[in-house]
A and B are shown apart, each in its own frame.
Chain A
Amino acid sequence: MQRTRATFPVLGLAFAAAIVSLVPVWYLGTQSLSRGIQVFTDELIQQRTLTLIWRSGVLTAAVTLASIVIGIFAAWVTTLSGIRGRTVLTIAFSLPLAIPSYLAAFAWISWLPGISGFTGAFIVLTFACYPYVMLPVAAAMKRLDPVHEDIARTMGRSSFDILREVLLPQLRRPIASGGLLVALYALSDFGAVAAMRHEVFTWVIYGAYRAGFNPTRAATLSLVLIAAALALTLAESFARGDDTSARKSNAARQRHSQLSLRARVVVLVGTSFVLVPAVGVPVVNVVSWLGRSTTRATDWATVWKATGQSFINGSATAIVTLLLALPVTWCAVRGKGIIARLPERLTYITHALPGIVVAISVVYVGIRVARPWYQEFPLLVFGQVIIFLPVMVASLRAALEKTPVSLEEVAHSLGTNSFQTLLRVTLPIALPGVLAGSALTMLAAVKELPVTLLLRPTGMNTLSTKIWDFSTISDYAAVGPFALAMLILAALPTALLGTLSSMKDGGS
Chain B
Amino acid sequence: MKTSQRFIAAVASLSFVLTACGSSSSSSDTTAVSEDTTVTVYSGRSEELVKDLFAAFTEETGISVDARYGDSGEMAALLLTEGSASPADVFFSQDAGALGAVEDNLAELPTETLSLVDSKFSSENRKWVGVTGRVRVVVYNPTLAPTPPNTIDGLLDAQWSGKIGFAPTNASWQSFVTALRVLRGEDGAEKWLTAFAQNKPVAYEKNSAVRDAVNTGEVSLGLVNHYYLLEKIAAEGADAVVAKNQFMAAGDVGGLVNVAGVGILANAKHSSAAQKFVDFLQSDTAAEYFRKKTWEYILTSGAAQADGLPPFADLQAPSINLSDLKSLDLTQELLQKVGLLTK
Is the C-beta of B15 less than 8 angstroms from some C-beta in chain A?
yes
A388 to chain B, nearest CB (A): 16
Interface centre among B22, B29, B86, B102 (most CB of A within 10 A): B22
**Which one of A195, A453, A458 has the highest number of Cβ atoms from chain B below 10 Å of its Cβ?**
A458
A212 touches B328 (CB 8 A): yes
Inter-subunit contact A356/B74 (CB<8 Å): yes
| Nearest CB on B from A213, distance (A) | 3
A459 touches which of B27, B48, B71, B77 (Cβ 8 Å): B27
Q: Is A85 an interface residue (CB 8 A)?
A: no
- Among B309-343, those with CB < 8 Å from A are 326-333, 336, 341-343
Whether B205 contacts A423 by the Cβ 8 Å rule is no
One digit per residue, 1 when the CB lies within 8 angstroms of any chain A CB and 0 when it does not, for chain B 9-50 equals 001001100110111011101100000000010000011110
Of B71, B80, B82, B341, the residue contacting A210 (CB under 8 A) is B71
Complex interface bits, A468-489 against B, C-beta within 8 A gives 1, otherwise 0: 0110111100100000000000
Whether, in the assembled complex, B206 has its beta carbon less than 8 Å from a beta carbon of chain A, the answer is: yes
Q: Please state if A320 and B48 are interface contacts (CB–CB under 8 Å).
A: no
* Residues on the B chain within 8 Å of A199, using CB: 336, 341-342
**Chain B residues whose C-beta falls within 8 Å of the C-beta of A22 in the assembled complex:** none
A213 and B3 within 8 A (CB) = no
CA distance A218 to B14 in the complex (A): 35
Bound CA span A319–B330, Å: 43
- B68 CB to closest chain A CB, in angstroms? 5
One of B168-176, B238-246, B247-255, B259-267 at the interface: B168-176
Residues of B contacting A469 in the complex (Cβ-Cβ under 8 angstroms):
46-48, 69
**Residue B81 interfacial (CB < 8 Å):** yes
A378/B26 contact (C-beta < 8 A), A197-B341, A207-B329, A475-B48 known = no
Cβ A417 vs Cβ B3 within 8 A = yes
Question: Does A360 have its Cβ within 8 Å of any Cβ on chain B?
Answer: yes
User: B306 contacts the other chain (Cβ, under 8 Å)?
Assistant: no
Binary flags per residue of A207-239, CB closer than 8 Å to B gives 1, else 0:
111111111011000000000000000000000
Give which listed residue, B68, B171, B343, contacts A117 with CB less than 8 A: B343
Specify the chain A residue showing the minimal Cβ separation from B29. A458
User: Which chain B positions have C-beta within 8 A of A73?
Assistant: none
Q: How far is the CA of A465 from the CA of B47 in the complex (A)?
A: 10
A215 touches B80 (CB 8 A): yes
Q: Is the CB of B26 within 8 A of A377?
A: yes
Is B49 a contact of A473 with CB atoms below 8 Å? Answer: yes
Tell me the bound Cα distance from A358 to B333 in angstroms: 24
Least Cβ–Cβ distance between B34 and chain A, in angstroms: 18
A460 CA / B83 CA spacing, docked (Å):
23
- B1 nearest in chain A by CB position: A417
Number of interface residues of B (CB under 8 A): 66
Selected from A213, A373, A465, A473, the residue in CB contact (under 8 A) with B101 is A213
* Contact across chains for B205 and A376 when beta carbons are under 8 A apart: no
Report if B76 contacts A (CB, 8 A).
Answer: yes
Given contacts A214-B329, A378-B19, A458-B29, contact A363 B81 (CB under 8 A): yes
Which residues of chain B are within 8 angstroms of A213 by Cβ–Cβ distance? 73, 76-77, 80, 97-98, 100-102, 326, 328
Looking across the interface, which residue of chain A has its beta carbon closest to that of B41?
A: A458
Chain A contacts for B55, CB-based, 8 A: none
List which A109-141 residues lie within 8 A (CB) of chain B. Answer: 109-110, 113, 116-118
Q: Is B108 an interface residue (CB 8 A)?
A: no
The stretch that binds B, out of A63-71, A364-372, A391-399, A440-448, is A364-372
**Total interface residues in chain A, CB < 8 Å:** 67
List, in ascending order, chain A residues with CB within 8 A of B18's CB: 316, 320, 377-378, 381
In the bound complex, do residue B343 and residue A198 qualify as a contact, i.e. CB atoms below 8 Å apart? yes
With a cutoff of 8 Å between Cβ atoms, the chain B residues found around residue A309 in the complex are: 25
Q: Which chain A positions have C-beta within 8 A of B343?
A: 116-118, 197-198
Contact mask B77-112 → A, CB, 8 Å, 1/0?
A: 110111101110000000001101110000000000
Among A338-396, those with CB < 8 Å from B are 356, 360, 363-364, 367-368, 371-378, 380-381
* Residues of chain B within 8 A of A458, CB atoms compared: 26-27, 29, 40, 66-68
Contacts of B101 in A (CB 8 A): 213
Instruction: Give the chain A neighbours of B70 by CB distance below 8 A.
Output: 453-454
A270 to B168, CA, bound (A): 37
Contacts of A478 in B (CB 8 A): 48
- Tell me if A363 and B341 are in contact (CB < 8 A): no
In the complex, are the beta carbons of A374 and B78 less than 8 A apart? no
Residues of A within 8 A of B73 (CB): 209-211, 213
In the assembled complex, A252 has its CB within 8 A of some CB on chain B: no
Does A194 belong to the interface (CB within 8 Å)?
yes
Answer yes or no: A323 CB below 8 A from chain B CBs. yes
Known contacts A215-B77, A367-B82, A469-B48: does B26 contact A457 (CB below 8 Å)? Answer: yes
Q: What chain A residues lie within 8 Å of B86 (beta carbons)?
A: 367
Chain B nearest CB from A188 CB (Å) reads: 16
A208 near B329 with CB under 8 A, answer yes
Cβ of A304 < 8 Å from any Cβ of B? no
7 additional A-B residue pairs with CB within 8 Å, beyond A198-B343, A209-B76: A211-B73, A212-B326, A212-B329, A360-B78, A371-B85, A458-B29, A469-B69
User: What residues make up the interface of B, taking CB atoms closer than 8 Å to A?
Assistant: 1, 3-4, 7, 11, 14-15, 18-19, 21-23, 25-27, 29-30, 40, 46-49, 66-74, 76-78, 80-83, 85-87, 97-98, 100-102, 168-169, 171, 174, 205-206, 208, 235, 326-333, 336, 341-343
Q: Give 15 A-B contacts (CB < 8 Å), ordered by A residue.
A: A198-B343, A199-B336, A212-B329, A213-B328, A316-B21, A320-B14, A320-B18, A367-B86, A378-B18, A381-B18, A423-B3, A454-B70, A457-B26, A459-B26, A474-B208
Chain A to chain B: the 9 pairs with minimum beta-carbon distance, closest first: A377-B22, A212-B329, A457-B26, A117-B343, A213-B101, A210-B73, A211-B328, A199-B342, A376-B22
| A interface with B by C-beta (< 8 Å) | 9, 48, 109-110, 113, 116-118, 194-195, 197-199, 203, 207-215, 217-218, 295, 309, 312, 316, 319-320, 323, 356, 360, 363-364, 367-368, 371-378, 380-381, 417, 419-420, 423, 450, 453-454, 457-460, 465, 469-470, 472-475, 478
